[in-house]
Amino acid sequence: MAMEFIVENIHKEIIKPCSPTPLHLKTSKLSFLDQIIPMDHVPLIFYYPNDNITEVEARSQLLKKSLSETLTRFYPFAGRLSSSSSIECNDQGVDFVETRVNCRLQDILKQHDGGESITKLGPEPIMVSKEAETRPLVLVKVNFFECGSMAIGISFSHKVADLSTMKFFIKTWAAMAQAKGSSEVVLPVPYFTIIPSLFPPILDLPVTSESDVMGQLRKDVASRRLVFDASKISMLKAQVASRDVPQPTRVEAVVALILKCAMAAATTNRGGFKKQSGLVHLVNFRKRINHSQAHGSP
C-alpha cells in the first residue's frame, strides 16, 4: 500500500533573468519541428539527499540566484509564446514554488509506484488549453523533506525544449549553483537560431494544431514508476540480442519489454484479438547536423 504524504506550498514567486535580454534577441523563432509538438509540459524530478552542510534557506536562495543567472543564457525560456512561430523573449520569468513535505525522502523512494510522487512533487500540470499559450514556459518546484533532503521538480514546455535541451539547461543551472556566482565558471553557450534556420517555421500554422487531440488522449493515461535492477537489465540485453542487433542498449531492451507486455495486455483486453502496434522513438539528430555550433543548439 502506498504511503500517504502531504506537500504544502509555502512560497511562490517569479524568477527572472539577472540581466535583461538585448533588443536584437527579443524574438526567438520556433522551428517547424517545434510547431508540430503539442502544447504540453514535460516534467522531470531530481532527488538530492541532505548534505548536512547547507541550511534549507541558504539552499533556496542559491537555487533562485543560480536559476536567474541560467535564464540569462537561456533567455527564450523566460519569455512567452507570442505566435505559432515565435517566442517573445520579454524576461517575464519562470514559476518557482517552494514546499515542505511531511516525510523523509527515503520513504518516497521506497515506493515503486511513483505515480503519486510524480504528481505531488512535480510542478502543477498546465492543462492543454488557450491558457497554456500564455503561461510560463518553465515551472520549478523545490520540495524540502523532514530529513533535510530535497526534490526539485522541473517542467518544460515541449514547444521550447526536448530532452537534450532540458539536460543542457539543468547541467548549466547545476554548474551555476556550484560556482556560487564565480566569474571563473566556463560553460557552453546555447544557440537558439540553428534548428529554426534548418527547419523554418510555417507562419500561419495554428498553435493548437495537435494540442486538442493530445489533451483528449491524456485523460485516460495512467503513470507508473518501473524499477529495473542493473543485473536484470544485463540479463534482458543478453536475451534480446540478435544478429541484426547484437548489442542492444539498455533503453532498447527495456522499452521492447514494456511494449511486449503492453501488446499482450491489449490483446487480453480485446478478448484475444491481436491488433498491430507500433512504437515511435524520438532521437537527437544534432550530432548528425553538419554545423560547427549544432552541438550547442537547444
Residue 175 has pLDDT above 90, yes or no: yes
Residue 298 has pLDDT above 70, yes or no: no
> Which pLDDT value is given to residue 2?
57
CA distance readout (Å), 93 to 16, 20, 28, 68, 134: 4, 11, 15, 9, 12
pLDDT, average across residues 70-79: 96
pLDDT, average across residues 173-180: 90
> Which pLDDT value is given to residue 218?
55
Its pTM stands at 0.77
Residue 176 has pLDDT above 90, yes or no: yes
Residue 47 has pLDDT above 70, yes or no: yes
> Which pLDDT value is given to residue 72?
95
Residue 202 has pLDDT above 50, yes or no: yes
Fold of 7-221: Chloramphenicol Acetyltransferase (3.30.559)
| Grid cell in block for residue 284 | 537527437
> Which pLDDT value is given to residue 234?
94
Residue 152 has pLDDT above 70, yes or no: yes
**Domain residue ranges in the chain:** 7-221
Residue 128 has pLDDT above 70, yes or no: no
Closest CA to 236 of 253, 255, 259: 253
